[in-house]
Structure 1
Amino acid sequence: MKQRRYTRVPFLRRALVESQGQSMEVQCLDISLRGVLLVRPEEVNWALEQHVRFTLTLGDEQIVMECSVAHVDDDVVGCACDSLGLESLIVLRRVLELNSADPAMVQRELAELIRGDKFNQSA
C-alpha cells in the first residue's frame, strides 16, 4: 500500500463544490494540504481529472481549493488540490494544526509544499 506524504485529518463539515456551472453542498470527510475527501453525492457523476472548486466556510474565513477529481468510489470522491490561495493556506494550516496529533508534522509538510511551489499566492 502506498504511504501518504501528507497528513489527512478527519474534518466532518458541510462544504460547497462548484463544477461545470453547478454548485452543490457536500459532506467533507477529511482534509489535507494536498486535497479533500468528500462523500459522493448520489446525483453526481464526476469524472477523473474533472475540475472542481471546493469551498469550506469556517465562520468569517474560507478555504477555497481549485481541485481535480483524483478518484471516485461508490461512496467517496477524492479531490487533489491544484491551487490554493495564501489566505486559504493560512486557514487550512490552522485547521490542520488544531486537528492533528502532530502539529509539527503540518509545518514540515507545509515547508515541503512551498518548496514544490504547489500553491498560488494570487488565488
Structure 2
Amino acid sequence: MADSSSADNPLDQLRLSLMQDVLPVGLAVLERARQGGPTKVAEVFSGASADPIADLREEGEPAARTVREQLDQVSPGLGNPVMPVSVSVEEPVASPDERSELIIALQRIEGRLEELSRRLPADS
C-alpha cells in the first residue's frame, strides 16, 4: 500500500533536514562569526575535533530549538515538522477462566447493588 508520509515527500525531507541539520550549524557559525569573526569560525575546523560539523550542530541546537518553536507559533508544524506515525491497538483476548471470573465478580456486584437498593428507603 502506498503511503503519502513525509518520508516519501522530497520537499518534506528537505525541510526536515534544513530544520534539524542546517539550521543549528548555520546558527552556530553565525554566533561564532559575531563573537570573533572568521578566526572564531575557522577555529572549529582547525583539526582539534574529529567531526566539526557535529560540534557546530550541537553548539547551535539550543538557538535552533528556539527558532523552530517560534516558527511553530506562526504555523504549527512549520519549525518542527509533524512526523507521521502508525498506531495500532490490539484488543486483549480474555481466556475462558478470566471471563468466568469476571462474570462471577459482576454477579457479586449485582447482588450487592440489589441488597443495597432493598435497604434504602423507597422514597429517597
Fold shared, TM-score > 0.5 on shorter chain:
no
Higher strand share: 1
- Structure showing greater radius of gyration is 2
Higher helix share: 2
TM (norm. structure 1) is 0.26
